[in-house]
Amino acid sequence: MILVSLDIDGTLEGGDPPGPIPLEFARRLQALGVVVGSSSDRTLTDQRRFWQAGGVEIDFVVLKHHLPDLPGKFDCGRYLHIGDTNQDVYFARLAGFEFWHVDSLEKPGPGEHPAQAMIDLLLLRLSGDPSVDGQAG
Amino acid sequence: MSAPAIHRSAAGMYRTTDGLGRWPYRGQVAAVGIGHSPTMRRWDGEAQTSIGAWCILAIRKAIADAGVSPAEVDGLVFDPETSTGSYWPADQPVPADFRAAFVPASDPLDGLAQLSPEWLLKNMPELTNVKFVMLASHCMSMAVAATVEAVGRGLTNVCVAVKGWHNFAGRYYQSGPNALPTVSGPGKHTPQSWAGPTCYGTAMQFERYLHKYGGSHDMMAPFVVNSRANGLLFPEGYFAQHRDTPITAEDYLTTRWIAKPANLLDNDMPIHAAAAYVFTTADRARDLKQPPVYVLGHAGGGTVQGDSYGPIPPRSCVETLEEAQANAASTARHVYEAAGVSASDIQFENCYDGFSLFHVFWIEGFGFAGVKEGECLDFFQTDISINGPNPVSPSGGNIGSGRTRFWGWTDTIQQLQGRAGARQLKIDAHCGLVGAFMPIWSNFAVLSKDPG
C-alpha cells in the first residue's frame, strides 16, 4: 500500500496560491487503493473544511510537522509527500517520506484529464522508472 | 491647483516624551470616514488590484463615506513604503497593462511597489485642492498620528490618512538584502535582513515572561481564538473574505513552532490591502454623513532625532522583556497624559497584535481592565469577547484579519459610530484605545464618542 500526503497552498488547485493538482487527483488515487490526505500548515479545522468544500472524503488530515505520525496510523510500504516549499522538503525528510515537488508532476497532454495524467506519471515513477525524477522543480 | 507642500518626514508630529501634558487639540479633531480596498493574499497581477489602485480605491471610499467632496480634501498623509516584506524583482519589468492603466510618475515602481505624492495626485485628478502632503513611515498608526496633529495645528482641514500593503508571490522577507549571501554593517540588524524568524525577539521576551510570572503559552489560546472569531465578523478583513474558518483552541495548541514559544498562529499573515480614513476638525465634522469620532489625544514611543523617527534603541541587539514592558508603560503614560484619561476610562482596546504575544505587554502597559504586570494570561481566561465587559481586540487585529496594522483603527471608529455590525460591542462604549505597533516603536490614540 502507498500513502500520498499532499500539501495544500501552492500544491492543490484550491490552495492559496493555487497549485496545479486538481482535487480529482486525490479521488482517483483513492480509487486505486492509495491512502491519500493532506499535510499542511493550515489548521486541522481549515484542512477539513477545504476537503469538505471540494467534496472529497479524504483518509487523513495532519499538520505538516506531524507527518512523522502517519506511519503509526497507516501501515504502508511507501510514504510520499508532494509539496512546493522547503518546509515540505524539511518535514518530509524528517518523517522519512519521499518528497516530490509539485512542479515535477507532468502537465497533461491535449485531451488528457490533468488528474489522470498526474496519476499516470506518479505510478510510472513509483514503478521505478529511472527516467522520471520527482525531485525536479 | 498650486503644488502642495510636501513634507517628507512626519517626525515633528509625534509625542514621545514624558511631560508634554494634555494634547492641545483634545476633542478638536475627528474621524469621519473609512475606506477599504478588498483584500488578497498576494497581488494577482491585475493593474486595478495593484497597491496603488487599491490605495486610490480606499481613499475614494473614505471620502464618500465621510460625505465630503473630493475638492474639499486639502491634506494627504501616507506611508510611501508598501512592502509587507516582498519586493519587486530588480530584473522584472513593470507590466505593460499597469503602465497603461495609470499616469506614470518619475519612478516606474510607484503605484506598484511603493507610493509617491506625485503618483497619487496624478492619478486622483479629483483631488484638486490638496495643499498639505506628509509622508509618515511604517504604519497607519504613524500616518494617523501625523494626520490628527496636522488637522489640530491647522495645517490641513480635511485630511486623508492612507496605508497600503502590497504582497507579491513568493516567500516573505526572502528577497532584497535578505536574499544576499552576506549583509555587512548595521544593515544586518534591520528588518530587511532578519537573522532568524521575525518573531524570535518577541518569543524570547515571552519566554522570559513565562519564567518570571508563571503560566504557559497555552494560556494565549483564548486570545487567538477570540481574535479570529472577531476577524470573521469583520467584512473588510482577509479571513472573512477568503477563508471563513475559525481557529479552535486545539488548532492553536497543535500548530507548529516558529520560534518557541511563538507558533505559526501567533504570527500574522501578510496580505495585500489598503485602507484610508478621513479626519477633519470637530466643527466641520458636525454636519457630515457619519457621526464624528473625536481624538482625545495621541502619543507614542519612539526616538525623534531631527527628521528621523525610529525605534527606542534597546540596550543590546534585541529588546528584553523588561525593556518591552517599560516601553509599553511609558507609551501608555504619554497616551493617557495626552488624552486626559486614565486606564479606567478605556472601555475596549485595539492594540496591535502583529505577534499575538506582545498584545500581553500592551494590555499590561496600558493597564486595560485593571490588568497589571504578569496578570494578562489570567485575564485572557475571562470573557474577553465582544459580548463581555472587557472587549479585547474587537477588530480581531492582524491575527484575525491579516497583516495590515490598520484593522484596529477601522474597528474603533466603527464601534464608536455604532456601525461595527456583527462586531458591535454589547457594552455602551464611549471610549476606546487603538494603536500600533511594537513596544519599541509605536503610536496610539484614545478615541471617543464625545469631544471630552
Whether pLDDT at A136 is above 50: no
Angstrom distance (rounded) from CA B219 to CA B65: 40
Interface contact flag, A65 B246, Cβ < 8 Å: no
Q: Is residue B152 part of a domain?
A: yes
Q: Sign of torsion, CA A116 A117 A122 A128?
A: positive
- Average of per-residue pLDDT across A112-130: 80
Q: Is residue B235 part of a domain?
A: no
C-alpha cell of residue B275: 485602507
Option in B41, B245, B250 nearest A46 (CB): B245
Angstrom distance (rounded) from CA B308 to CA B285: 32
Q: Does A16 touch chain B (CB under 8 A)?
A: yes
- List CB contacts (< 8 A) between B254 and chain A: 44, 63, 66
Option in A17, A45, A64 nearest B256 (CB): A64
Q: Give me the count of residues in chain A.
A: 137
3-class DSSP assignment, residue B314: coil
Question: Residues of B at the A interface (Cβ-Cβ below 8 Å)?
Answer: 41-42, 169, 171, 242-243, 245-248, 250-251, 254-256, 264-265
Q: Nearest-CA neighbor of B154 among B276, B241, B280?
A: B280
Angstrom distance (rounded) from CA A57 to CA B161: 48
Domain total of chain B: 1
Q: Is residue B150 part of a domain?
A: yes
Interface contact flag, B255 A85, Cβ < 8 Å: no
Q: Does A69 touch chain B (CB under 8 A)?
A: no
Option in A16, A63, A85 nearest B255 (CB): A63
pLDDT confidence tier of residue A107, bands split at 50, 70 and 90: low
Q: Nearest-CA neighbor of B32 among B158, B204, B187?
A: B158
Option in A17, A41, A49 nearest B245 (CB): A49
Q: Please give the span between the terminal C-alpha atoms of chain B, in angstroms, as a whole number.
A: 37
C-alpha cell of residue B400: 484575525
Per-residue pLDDT at B178: 65
Determine contact, residues B146/B20, Cβ cutoff 8 Å. Answer: no
Q: What CA–CA distances, in Å, run from B347 to B5, B334, B393, B394, B400?
A: 39, 18, 11, 11, 20
Q: Is residue B206 part of a domain?
A: no
| Minimal CA separation from A130 to chain B, in Å | 31
Angstrom distance (rounded) from CA B262 to CA B204: 9
Within B129-255, strands assigned E span 132-135, 158-165
| Minimal CA separation from B245 to chain A, in Å | 6
Per-residue pLDDT at A116: 85
Q: Is residue B106 part of a domain?
A: yes
Residue B390 phi, psi (nearest 5): -130, 75
C-alpha cell of residue A54: 471540494
CATH number of the domain residue B117 falls in? 3.40.47.10
Q: Is B352 exposed, middle or buried (0-12, 13-18, 19+ CB in 10 A)?
A: buried
Chain B: residue nearest A9 by CA? B41
Angstrom distance (rounded) from CA B117 to CA B8: 10
Q: What CA–CA distances, in Å, run from A124 to A121, A132, B262?
A: 5, 8, 42
Angstrom distance (rounded) from CA B68 to CA B62: 9
- List CB contacts (< 8 A) between A16 and chain B: 41, 242-243
Determine contact, residues B111/B105, Cβ cutoff 8 Å. Answer: yes
Q: Does A63 touch chain B (CB under 8 A)?
A: yes
Interface contact flag, A45 B243, Cβ < 8 Å: no
Q: Mean pLDDT check: name the lowest of A20-29, A68-77, B179-188, B317-326.
A: B179-188
| Minimal CA separation from A119 to chain B, in Å | 27
Interface contact flag, B256 A16, Cβ < 8 Å: no
Chain B: residue nearest A16 by CA? B41
Q: Is residue B69 part of a domain?
A: yes
**Can you give the pLDDT of all 452 residues of chain B as single tens digits?**
678 999 999 999 999 999 999 999 999 999 999 999 999 999 999 999 999 999 999 999 999 999 999 999 999 999 999 998 888 988 899 999 999 999 999 999 999 999 999 999 999 999 999 999 999 988 999 999 999 999 999 999 999 999 999 999 877 766 666 667 777 776 666 555 555 788 888 999 999 999 999 999 999 999 999 999 999 999 999 999 999 999 999 999 999 999 999 999 999 999 999 999 999 999 999 999 999 999 999 999 999 998 899 999 988 878 999 999 999 999 999 999 999 999 999 999 999 999 999 999 999 999 999 999 999 999 999 999 999 999 999 999 999 999 999 999 999 999 999 999 999 999 999 999 999 999 999 999 999 999 98
Q: Nearest-CA neighbor of B349 among B238, B432, B278, B280?
A: B432
Per-residue pLDDT at A137: 38
Domain assignment of residue B121, given as a range = 5-171+272-281
Give the model confidence (pLDDT) of B231-268 as tens digits.
999 999 999 999 999 999 999 999 999 999 999 999 99
Interface contact flag, B264 A41, Cβ < 8 Å: yes
Q: Is residue B111 part of a domain?
A: yes
Interface contact flag, B256 A41, Cβ < 8 Å: yes
Q: What percent of chain B has pLDDT over 70?
A: 96
Q: Is residue B288 part of a domain?
A: no
C-alpha cell of residue B403: 497583516
Q: Does A33 touch chain B (CB under 8 A)?
A: no
Q: What is the dihedral of CA B237, B238, B244, B249, to 10 degrees?
A: -90
Q: Please give the span between the terminal C-alpha atoms of chain A, in angstroms, as a whole number.
A: 26
Q: Nearest-CA neighbor of B445 among B129, B235, B220, B140?
A: B140
Q: What is the ipTM of this complex?
A: 0.86
